[in-house]
C-alpha cells in the first residue's frame, strides 16, 4: 500500500462506520488536522452529539464527552466554565443542533461561550433513517415528508448561520462545504479560524459544514456531491457571516 | 465552622454546598427554591466559583453533566416541574457514572400544580424518573441543620459512588429559618477522579459516555452499576427512630411531615398512647430493614405524606403483610396538622 497522507494524530485508528460517500468522515479529518496544526490535542475536550456522528468519541484522539440529543452546547458550557484554559468543541448534526437543541445552541452562542461548534448540515436525519430535518429543503423528500417538504405544513428550512450571526455574543460564523477539494481546503481554513477564535478568547464560534447523506438522499456518492452543490448551496450560501474583526 | 447562625433553608443549603467545595452552580428560576440560586449567584464569585443561570432546566442539568465530567463539584437546584425537565440529564449522568448534587424543593403537582409544600415527587426521585435502570441517592432533611449536614455529605456520597445525589425538601424546608452550624462531614476515602475529561495531557484520552450499542455490554454495565447500588444499600441507609422501644403504632414520615408527626406523637404520648416515629432520612436507599424489624413489634403503621400515597408503597413492601399499614395524606400543597394525625392514630385504637 502506498501511503498518500498520514492519519492526523488527533484521530484514532478506529475504522469509521460512516456510509460510503458520506462526508462526515472528511469533516472529522479536517477537525483533527486543525487540532494537530494548532497543537491542542492534549488540551481539547470534544462533545459528541446524537446522530450519525454519535460515535465521534471513538474517532477523535482527545478527551471526549458524549451528550444527549441536542444538549452538546450546554454540556460544552459546563466543561468550559470549569476549564476555561482548555479548548472545547461540539460536533453536531442539523437535527441535533437546529431541532431538539435549538435553545441550547442559541443561548450558548448568545452568552458568547468560548466554545467551537462544528455544525454538520446534511439536510436530513441520517441516523434514524432519513426523516425530515429543520434544514430539509422545500420539495426535498424525506421519510416523514414523502411528498416533499411543503412550507405550508412544515415551515421553511432554517438558515442557522444567518440566524446565529445576529447574536452579539458570537465571534465567528462561517458556512462551508466539502463537495470538492477546493471547498474542502476552504472548510479547513474556516475550522481553523473558529478554533483560533476560541484560543484567542473572543467568543462563540461555529462552522456550518454542508455535508452529504447519499444513503438517505437515495443517491450515489458522486450524485450526492452534485446534489449538494446544485441544491444546497443556492439556499445555504457559503461564506463568513461574522468574524472577530467585525466584532472588534 | 463551629459558630451557629440563623439562616433560611434555601440559603443554608447554598452555603453548605460551598463549604463542601462546590464551585459550580447551574440553575433556572422556579418557586419555592429561588433563594438558593440567588444565594449562589452572590456567593460563588466571592470564592472563585461560577454561577450561571441557564436558559432552561434541560440546559442547566446538561451544564452540570459537562462540569461533573470535567471533574468539578457541581450542583443544581429546582422544584418539581423543573426537576421533570432535568430527568433527561439525570439519566445521562447516572448512565455515565458521574457525581453531582441536585436539590429538589418539592411543590404540589402534577403539571404546573401549585407552589406550596408537597412530597409528591417521591416516586420520581426514588423510582427513577428518567429512563433506564438507575438510582439516585435521595436525602430528605427535616430541619435546616440536617439539610446543611446532608448537603455537605451529599457531595462525598456522590464522589464515593459516582452517582447523582438528590436532596429533597419542600417549601417549608426551603423557606423556614433556623440556627445552623457548618460541621465537616465524617471523613470518607474518596477515589481519585482519574476518569475526568480535562484534556489528555500525559495520558490516554478519556471518554464520558452512556451509549453502549451491544446489549451484552450494556447489560454487563447495568449489572455492575447495580452492584454499586447494592453497596450503597448496605452502607448508606439513614433513618431516625423515636419512641419505638414500646410503640404499638408506628408513624412513618419524612421531611416536613415527620416534624408534624413528631408533635402529634408528643401529644399522644402525654395522653398515654404508645406511638413511635420512624423517619427515613435516605428515601433511597430506603430503611427497609428498620421498618421490617419494627413490624415484628408494633400493631400497625401509619404512613403520613403530603401526597396521595407514594412512600407508603415502600413501607408496605418492608412490612410485607406482617401488620396493617395505614395511610394518611394531604396533597396539592396542603400541610397536615398534628391534630389531623392525632385523630388518625386514635381512630386506629391508638396503642393505649
Ligand atoms: C431525545 C431523543 N430523541 C430522539 C432521538 C433519536 N435520534 C437519534 S439521531 C436523530 C437525528 C439525528 O440527525 P442529525 O442531527 O441531523 O444527524 P445525522 O444523523 O444526520 O448526522 C434522532 C432524532 C434520540 N436519540 N434522543
Ligand atoms: S446515514 Fe447519511 S449521514 Fe449517516 S453515515 Fe450514512 S450517509 Fe452519512
Indicate which CATH number applies to the domain containing B333.
3.40.50.920
In a domain, B299, yes or no: yes
pLDDT value of position A4? 60
Contact B65 A47 (CB under 8 A): no
A 81-140 near B (Cβ less than 8 A) = 81-83, 86, 103-104, 106-107
B245 within 8 A of B297, measured Cβ to Cβ: no
Q: Give, using CA atoms, the residue closest to atom 7 of ligand 2.
A: A213
Centre of ligand 2 to C-alpha A208, Å, is: 17
Residue B171 pLDDT level (bands cut at 50, 70, 90): confident
Which residues of chain A are modeled with pLDDT < 70? 1-4, 247-248
Our CA dihedral for A98, A100, A103, A109, rounded to 10 degrees, sits at -40
Taking only the tens place, the pLDDT of each residue in B289-319 is: 999 999 999 999 999 999 999 999 999 999 9
Q: Which of B59, B64, B209 sits opposite A103 (nearest CB)?
A: B59
Residue B134 sits in a domain whose CATH number is 3.40.50.970
Q: Which domain holds residue A131?
A: 23-242
Look at residue A53 and tell me if it is in a domain.
yes
**β partners of residue A89:** A46, A116
CB B33 within 8 A of CB B170: no
Which of the residues B52, B54, B56, B70 would you substitute to probe the A interface, choosing the one with the greatest number of A C-beta atoms within 10 Å?
B70
Nearest by CB to residue B62, choosing from A57, A62, A74, is A74
Model confidence at B350, pLDDT cuts 50, 70, 90, reads: low
B208 contacts A71? CB cut-off 8 A: no
- Domain hosting B103: range is 4-186+210-236
Is the CB of A69 inside a 6 Å radius of any atom of ligand 1?
Answer: yes
Q: Is residue A131 part of a domain?
A: yes
Residues B229 and B282 in one domain: no
* Nearest-angstrom CA–CA distance, B24 and B26: 7
Say if A152 falls within a structural domain.
yes
Q: Cβ B71–A81 below 8 Å, yes or no? A: no
Q: What is the mean pLDDT of residues B28-46?
A: 97
Q: Tell me how far CA of residue A217 lies from CA of A226, B54, B331, in angstroms.
A: 12, 37, 53
> Where in chain B does DSSP place strands (E)?
4-8, 24-27, 50-53, 74-78, 100-106, 137-139, 164-170, 177-181, 207-208, 239-242, 249-252, 275-280, 282-284, 300-305, 325-329
What are the C-alpha distances in Å from B15 to residues B2, B7, B148? 14, 10, 8
| Mean predicted lDDT score pLDDT of chain B | 97
| Contact check, Cβ <8 Å, B199/A71 | no
Inspect the interface and report whether the beta carbons of B69 and A86 lie closer than 8 Å.
no
Do B324 and B301 contact (CB within 8 A), yes or no? yes
Does B66 contact A75 at a Cβ distance shorter than 8 Å? yes
Q: Are residues B229 and B278 in the same domain?
A: no
Claim to verify: residue B227 and residue B287 sit in the same structural domain = no
Residues B216 and B299 in one domain: no
ipTM above 0.85, yes or no: yes
Q: What is the pLDDT of residue B104?
A: 98
Chain A environment of B66 (Cβ under 8 Å) = 47, 65, 67, 74-80, 82
Answer yes or no: is the C-beta of A214 below 6 A from any ligand 1 atom.
no
d(CA B136, nearest CA chain A) in Å: 19
Query: What does pTM read for this prediction?
Result: 0.97
Q: Is A70 in the pocket of ligand 1 (CB under 6 A)?
A: no
Atom 20 (ligand 1) nearest CA: A126
Q: Are residues B250 and B232 in the same domain?
A: no
Nearest ligand 2 atom to the CA of A51 is: 4
Q: Domain for residue B199, yes or no?
A: no
- Å between A102 CA and nearest CA of chain B: 11
Indicate whether B159 belongs to any domain: yes
Residues B150 and B253 reside in one and the same domain: no
- Angle (nearest 5°) at CA A212 between A211 and A215: 150
The number of beta carbons lying within 10 Å of the beta carbon of residue B186 is: 9
Give me the CATH number covering residue A222. 3.40.50.970
Report pLDDT for A18: 98
Q: Which residue's CA is the closest to the ligand 2 atom numbered 5?
A: A18
pLDDT at position A248 is 61
- How far away, in angstroms, is A125 Cα from ligand 1 center? 6
For residue B26, the distance in angstroms to the closest alpha carbon of chain A comes to 8
The reply to whether B130 and B175 lie within a common domain is yes
Residue range B246-256, pLDDT digits in tens: 999 999 999 99
What is the structure's pLDDT at B92? 98
Domain-located, residue B201: no
Using a CB-CB cut-off of 8 Å, the residues of chain A touching B70 are 45, 78-79, 82-83
From B89, B96, B197, residue closest to A79, measured CB to CB: B197
d(CA B175, CA B259): 15
Dist. CA A119 → ligand 1 center (Å)? 14
Same domain, B149 and B251: no
Interface residue A219 vs chain B (CB under 8 A):
no
Mutation target to probe the B interface, by most B beta carbons within 10 A, among A35, A63, A104 is A63
Residues B223 and B274 in one domain: no
Count the domains in chain A.
Answer: 1
Residue B350: count of CB within 10 angstroms of its CB = 18
CA distance B328 to B326: 7
Check residue A2 and give its pLDDT: 61
CA-CA distance, A220 to A218, in Å (whole number)?
7
pLDDT for the residue B59: 98
B157 and B34 in a common domain: yes
CA distance A9 to chain B (A): 12
Checking if the pLDDT of B352 tops 90, the result is no
d(CA A28, CA A148) in angstroms, rounded, equals 30
CB contact under 8 A, A77 and B65: no
In a domain, A199, yes or no: yes
Contacts of A86 in chain B (CB under 8 A): 198-199
| Within-domain flag for B140 | yes
Q: Are residues B229 and B150 part of one domain?
A: yes
- B309 domain-assigned: yes
pLDDT over 70, % of chain B: 99
Contacts of residue A82 in chain B, CB cutoff 8 Å? 24, 50, 66-67, 70-72, 74, 198
Number of domains in chain B: 2
Compare CB distances from B201 to A43, A71, A82 and report the shortest one's residue. Answer: A43
Per-residue pLDDT at B351 exceeds 70: no
> Do both B29 and B168 map to the same domain?
yes
Residue A246: per-residue pLDDT: 78
Cβ–Cβ gap A45/B197 under 8 Å: yes
- The Cα of A78 is separated from the nearest Cα of chain B by a number of Å equal to 4
Q: How far is CA A188 from the centre of its chain?
A: 12
Amino acid at each position: 500500500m502506498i501511503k498518500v497522507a498520514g492519519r492526523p494524530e488527533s484521530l484514532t485508528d478506529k475504522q469509521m462506520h460512516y456510509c460510503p460517500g458520506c462526508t462526515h468522515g472528511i469533516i472529522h479529518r479536517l477537525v483533527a488536522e486543525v487540532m494537530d496544526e494548532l497543537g491542542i490535542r492534549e488540551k481539547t475536550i470534544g462533545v459528541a452529539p446524537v446522530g450519525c456522528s454519535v460515535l465521534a468519541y471513538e474517532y477523535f484522539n482527545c478527551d471526549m464527552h458524549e451528550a444527549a440529543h441536542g444538549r452538546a452546547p450546554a454540556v460544552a458550557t459546563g466543561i468550559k466554565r470549569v476549564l476555561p484554559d482548555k479548548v472545547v468543541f461540539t460536533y453536531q448534526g442539523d437535527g441535533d443542533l437546529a431541532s431538539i437543541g435549538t435553545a441550547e445552541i442559541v443561548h450558548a452562542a448568545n452568552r458568547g461561550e468560548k466554545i467551537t461548534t462544528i455544525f454538520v448540515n446534511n439536510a436530513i436525519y441520517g441516523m434514524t433513517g432519513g426523516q425530515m430535518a429543520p434544514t430539509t429543503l422545500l420539495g426535498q423528500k424525506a421519510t416523514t415528508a414523502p411528498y416533499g417538504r411543503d412550507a405550508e405544513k412544515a415551515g421553511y428550512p432554517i438558515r442557522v448561520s444567518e440566524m446565529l450571526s445576529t447574536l452579539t455574543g458570537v465571534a465567528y460564523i462561517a458556512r462551508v462545504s466539502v463537495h470538492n477539494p477546493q471547498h474542502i481546503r476552504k472548510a479547513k481554513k474556516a475550522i481553523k479560524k473558529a478554533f483560533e477564535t476560541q484560543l484567542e478568547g473572543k467568543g462563540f464560534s461555529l462552522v456550518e459544514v454542508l455535508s452529504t447523506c447519499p444513503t438517505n438522499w437515495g443517491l450515489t456518492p458522486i450524485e450526492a456531491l452534485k446534489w449538494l452543490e446544485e441544491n444546497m448551496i443556492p439556499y445555504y450560501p457559503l461564506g463568513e457571516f461574522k468574524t472577530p474583526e467585525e466584532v472588534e | 465552622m463551629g459558630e451557629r447562625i440563623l439562616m433560611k433553608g434555601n440559603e443554608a443549603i447554598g452555603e453548605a454546598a460551598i463549604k463542601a467545595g462546590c464551585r459550580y452552580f447551574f440553575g433556572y428560576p422556579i418557586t419555592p427554591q429561588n433563594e438558593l440560586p440567588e444565594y449562589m449567584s452572590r456567593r460563588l464569585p466571592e470564592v472563585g466559583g461560577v454561577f450561571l443561570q441557564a436558559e432552561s432546566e434541560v440546559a442547566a442539568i446538561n451544564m452540570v453533566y459537562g462540569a461533573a465530567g470535567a471533574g468539578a463539584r457541581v450542583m443544581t437546584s429546582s422544584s418539581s416541574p423543573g426537576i421533570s425537565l432535568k430527568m433527561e440529564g439525570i439519566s445521562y449522568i447516572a448512565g455515565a457514572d458521574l457525581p453531582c448534587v441536585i436539590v429538589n424543593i418539592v411543590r404540589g403537582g402534577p403539571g404546573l400544580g401549585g407552589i406550596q409544600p408537597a412530597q409528591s415527587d417521591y416516586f420520581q426521585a426514588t423510582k427513577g424518573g428518567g429512563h433506564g435502570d438507575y438510582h439516585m441517592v435521595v436525602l430528605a432533611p427535616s430541619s435546616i441543620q440536617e439539610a446543611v449536614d446532608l448537603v455537605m455529605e451529599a457531595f462525598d456520597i456522590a464522589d464515593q459512588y459516582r452517582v447523582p445525589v438528590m436532596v429533597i425538601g419542600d417549601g417549608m424546608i426551603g423557606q423556614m429559618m433556623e440556627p445552623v452550624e457548618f460541621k465537616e462531614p465524617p471523613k470518607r476515602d474518596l477515589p481519585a477522579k482519574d476518569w475526568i475529561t480535562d484534556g489528555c495531557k500525559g495520558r490516554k484520552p478519556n471518554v464520558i459516555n452512556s451509549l453502549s450499542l451491544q446489549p451484552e455490554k450494556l447489560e454487563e454495565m447495568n449489572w455492575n452499576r447495580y452492584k454499586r447500588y447494592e453497596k450503597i444499600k448496605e452502607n448508606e441507609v439513614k433513618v431516625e427512630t423515636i419512641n419505638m422501644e414500646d410503640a404499638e403504632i408506628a408513624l412513618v414520615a419524612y421531611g416536613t411531615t415527620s416534624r408534624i408527626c413528631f408533635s402529634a406523637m408528643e401529644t399522644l404520648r402525654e395522653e398515654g398512647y404508645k406511638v413511635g416515629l420512624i423517619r427515613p432520612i435516605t428515601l433511597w436507599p430506603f430503611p427497609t430493614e428498620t421498618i421490617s424489624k419494627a413490624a415484628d413489634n408494633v400493631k400497625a403503621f401509619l404512613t403520613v405524606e403530603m401526597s396521595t400515597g407514594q412512600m407508603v408503597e415502600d413501607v408496605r413492601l418492608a412490612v410485607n403483610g406482617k401488620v396493617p399499614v395505614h395511610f394518611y395524606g394531604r396533597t396539592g400543597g396542603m400541610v397536615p396538622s398534628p391534630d389531623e394525625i392525632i385523630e388518625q392514630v386514635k381512630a386506629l385504637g391508638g396503642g393505649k
